[in-house]
Structure 1
Amino acid sequence: MSIIPIINPTHSYTFADYFKLNSEPDEILSYFGYGHESRPLNLPQTHRQLEQLESLKQRLQKILPYVSFTSEMARREFLIAPVLMELIHYTQVKIKVGYSLKVSEHLKGELDYFLQTKTQFLVIEAKNADLQRCFIQLAVELIAVEKAEFANYSMLYRAVSMGNIWQFAVLDTQEKRVIQDTNLYRVPADLTELLQIMVGILEG
């Protein structure tokens, strides 16, 4: 009895296609030669004073009761966009929205938010479904970013956001392993720690 491969070598796949595959992360990542691990991550954090953060948290707390977050567009505009604008204020990071990337027929598609400074990358995916399946897509996107060879980094960072919940992942380029953070960050409750991490990552 032959085993049907998870990924058909003759087919073309976009990043979004991996979200739809009914497979375990380690099964998909092993196809590309990478391992998978889930554990709490000790992520970089800035020690700077983020002086506008409390104001943003208060504004979000005021508007949340009045906005319906049943659509992905609502979460992007009212929860994700304010966080990214705050991030620009502290890091002057350039953000490319809907950034197209093609490495091969198996590694191509659009990155929702592609952030780049002189020292680091951070790619953010906006999703409205379960985080485990989101992780598979973001892990494949991290592999594509590494293979695109934008720069030689030992660690590449990625985040997935459901608007009110954020989760990080890291690609260890030396170990060829994608590590899924088991910690979750809520907005606005954990906004301070979330921004400290993202600023810390982009500061390198």
Structure 2
Amino acid sequence: MATVRLGDIAIEAKSSNKGDKTGIRIVGLEHLTPSNVTLSSWNEDTENTFTKEFSKGDVLFGRRRAYLKKAAVAPFDGICSGDITVIRAIEDKVDPDLLPFIIQNDFLFDFAVGKSAGSLSPRVKWTRLKEFAIELPSMPEQSKLAETLWSINETKNAYEDLINKTDELVKSQFIEMFKKCNREKLGDYILQVRVFHINQRI
């Protein structure tokens, strides 16, 4: 394996769209899920100031408050917040399917936090982030590794989805159970308590 820097295998995409945004999907920091390489939400609100373009396959890295660990691969073309760095693979240097996992890892986020500037809302610049060093295997090995990681990610997402659905089912059953209970007024219970105390005194 060879030691390379992030800037050797990827670039920051800087194209912008200042025209009509009708039908264009919008991604803000709020749409990136911490520690999740999959982008599952976005917006199509044209009333925004975002102009930074990204393409399908780019990695959207949350450069503000990097400790939140927000980075995901774009499943479509769109526009994103200025607080997102658009990272694009140099395809003859790294497998584009592997790059999202190179970005979405604790070592890179720790590095990003250390290179961030600002107190209230720290941000890291690409000029700093691109210095992150990694051990990179050969292209054939990268492809195998990417395939394995995406398979694991798919299983993880399916498991989380199952947990969420189970949680919703339990909640609905709990609510249904309470609906079937006999409803009595609080005053009835208070009256019963008073009668009990009176009887105790007698």
Structure-1-length-normalised TM-score: 0.23
The structure carrying a bigger strand percent of its residues is 1
* Larger radius of gyration between Structure 1 and Structure 2: 2
Q: Which has the higher contact order (CA 8 A, sep 6+)?
A: 1
The structure carrying a bigger helix percent of its residues is 2
Structure-2-length-normalised TM-score: 0.23
